[in-house]
């Protein structure tokens, strides 16, 4: 079932990260043979339409007074890509994965359980709302379920900022009290929390996303965010535009087929003697793995020389 596939995928990702850290090697699950920096640009017509209504102008895509700012994306062994976000006044800084596969912002709160151990250098930065003048109580339950368990907490309202001054006020985010559901991948990972960049249709409690609020509060120059992912080096995430120095030629935009995840049509997939026809895929910045139906992935993996890993129920390809 789809639920089992997602559950197995999440567990596989955590196991792969743990194995990589222990062996000081980088397994790749059916990845491209040549890893290249890649520019991913995402834009949705609904956002453009919303921007048009907010502006009250004929050109709904451009806000001349808006901003386009860049966040440095740090690369941890081509397995985790994370950057900084600030919450509160004065700002409290956190390392987050900017994740197009989810829609909520969450960080651990003071006293969080299963949130790393500073004695091993694996502690997390934790939010303390008593130190913020812009904090507003909400208190609604937050719970998101992953493959091996749940992450629990509660919602609060705050000022949230990325880069120097791309900022929104009154954002509902989660203070996590127990991150046990993320397992060893979180404990050993370099990130504190997750910033969801998918749509509010899949947001817990239907909370507006960071992008929703950026557009509603008239912050961005254009209703766009774009990733440039490095290959074992720094990358960047630009809100409000695209860094034209990071590519040549013209960008070709691909229509979304749903405003949930960043889901697109794929015309076909091929490698060696393997090929399959039209399917759909999710562009997910929160993972370094490729995943799909077991039967098709097995065929594809063998064509690129990947070896089955029965423990993690995956295929490993070492470069």
Write out the catalytic residue numbers.
Answer: 99, 284
Q: Which residue has the tokens 């339950």?
A: 141
CA angle 28, 84, 35 (to 5 degrees): 25
- DSSP strand pairing (105-113 vs 166-178): parallel
The alpha carbon dihedral of 34, 39, 201, 172 has a sign of positive
Query: CA-to-CA distance for 219 and 24, rounded, in angstroms?
Result: 42
Q: Which residue has the tokens 């451009």?
A: 62
> Are 141 and 129 in contact, with CB atoms under 8 Å apart?
no
Residue 106: enclosing H or E segment and its boundaries? strand 105-113
DSSP 121: T
Residue 235: other Cβ atoms inside 10 A: 20
59 phi and psi angles, rounded to 5 deg = -100, 95
Q: Which residue has the tokens 């309202």?
A: 157
> Are 128 and 92 in contact, with CB atoms under 8 Å apart?
yes
């Amino acid at each position: 079932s789809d639920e089992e596939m997602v559950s197995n995928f999440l567990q596989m990702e955590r196991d792969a990260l743990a194995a990589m850290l222990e062996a000081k090697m980088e397994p790749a699950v059916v990845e491209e043979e040549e890893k290249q920096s890649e520019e991913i640009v995402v834009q949705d017509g609904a956002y453009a339409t919303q921007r048009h209504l907010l502006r009250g102008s004929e050109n709904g895509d451009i806000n001349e007074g808006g901003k386009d700012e860049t966040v440095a994306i740090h690369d941890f062994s081509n397995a985790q890509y994370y950057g900084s976000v600030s919450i509160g006044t004065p700002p409290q800084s956190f390392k987050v994965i900017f994740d197009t596969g989810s829609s909520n912002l969450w960080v651990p709160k003071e006293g969080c359980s299963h949130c790393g151990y500073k004695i091993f250098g694996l502690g997390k930065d934790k939010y303390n709302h008593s130190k913020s003048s812009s904090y507003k109580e909400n208190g609604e339950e937050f719970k998101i379920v992953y493959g091996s368990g749940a992450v629990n907490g509660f919602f609060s309202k705050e000022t949230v900022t990325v880069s120097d001054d791309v900022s929104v006020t009154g954002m509902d985010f989660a203070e996590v009290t127990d991150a046990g559901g993320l397992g060893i991948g979180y404990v050993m990972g370099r990130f504190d929390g997750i910033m969801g960049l998918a749509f509010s249709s899949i947001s817990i409690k239907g909370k507006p996303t960071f992008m929703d609020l950026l557009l509603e509060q008239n912050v961005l120059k254009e209703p766009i965010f774009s990733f440039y992912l490095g290959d074992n080096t720094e990358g960047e995430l630009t809100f409000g535009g695209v860094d034209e120095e990071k590519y040549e030629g013209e960008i070709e935009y691909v229509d979304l087929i749903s405003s949930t995840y960043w889901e697109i049509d794929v015309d076909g997939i091929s490698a060696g003697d393997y090929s399959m026809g039209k399917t759909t895929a999710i562009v997910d910045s929160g993972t370094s793995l490729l995943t799909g139906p077991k039967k098709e992935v097995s065929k594809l993996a063998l064509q690129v020389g990947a070896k089955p890993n029965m423990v993690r129920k995956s295929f490993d390809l070492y470069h």
